[in-house]
Amino acid sequence: MKDVLPGLRALFGPQTMVVTMINGIPWWYFHKLGGAYEGRRLDSVDPGGVIDQHIERERIIGSVVYPASELVEPGVVKVIEGNRFTLGELDGERSERIDALSQAMMRAGFKAPVSRDIRSELWVKLWGNLSFNPISALTHATLEQICRFGPTRSLAAAMMREAQSVAEKLGVRFKISLDQRIAGAEAVGAHKTSMLQDVEHGRALELEALVGSVVELGRITETPTPTIDAIYAATSLLAQTLAVQKGRLEVQPLA
């Protein structure tokens, strides 16, 4: 993303919105949040505040991307399931511009509900991503396998409980239960998470946005996250090894 930042300003018009369709905790998380944490920067997702310097906060629209997909090849994406993109202003207002954006996306065939609490919506998806993604990267298992294997199901649940404690200190309200979130992941079936796909193809891992950011939020809110910390450490070493070796890992059947 840093490579495209310098050229963005030339593309912005007076009414241009920047819709952040990204996984994990976004760099703008503390913008317009209010309270004790207003305006803080997350070094895990925006070291040095570089992104914040190039994109005006007033332009940002938050979103949560729900479709599960696989990158088959450059320019070819296979959608496994889902077509919902939840949208939200950072301050929770129901603005004219976000209604117009929602309507445009719905006319294009997407589900695009507007949330008055985009951060709580974001955490529901992150709840699974921060646990299932690194576990899948380390074990090469699908969502279905992780959820149906007792030890990894319990491991994911432990990570999710720690994350919930962090999020609730930030004012987040979870509208579904932990068991419902795990059941939702299991229902997706034999799907490889994006992080596992990246391991198999030798791509950089989205580790900071999905896991490192939660570790940082734990420190900010003074909330212990021992299970998340351990999985983050192991997956960080995996990411470093793949990067240094310029390699990839994939489980192949024996000949």
What amino acid positions are annotated as catalytic residues?
Answer: 125
Which phi and psi (to 5°) does residue 132 adopt? Answer: -65, -40
The count of other CB atoms within 10 Å of the CB of residue 56 is: 12
For residue 234, how far is the Cα from the chain centroid?
19
User: Do 70 and 28 meet the contact criterion of CB atoms below 8 Å apart?
Assistant: no
Q: 84 in the Ramachandran plot: left (φ > 0), alpha (ψ -120 to 50) or beta?
A: beta
* Long-range Cβ contact pairs of 71-79 (< 8 A, separation 24 or more): 71/197, 71/201
Query: Which residues touch 217 (CB under 8 Å, ≥6 apart)?
Result: 25, 42, 166, 167, 170, 223
What is the Cα–Cα distance from 235 to 133, expressed in whole angstroms? Answer: 10
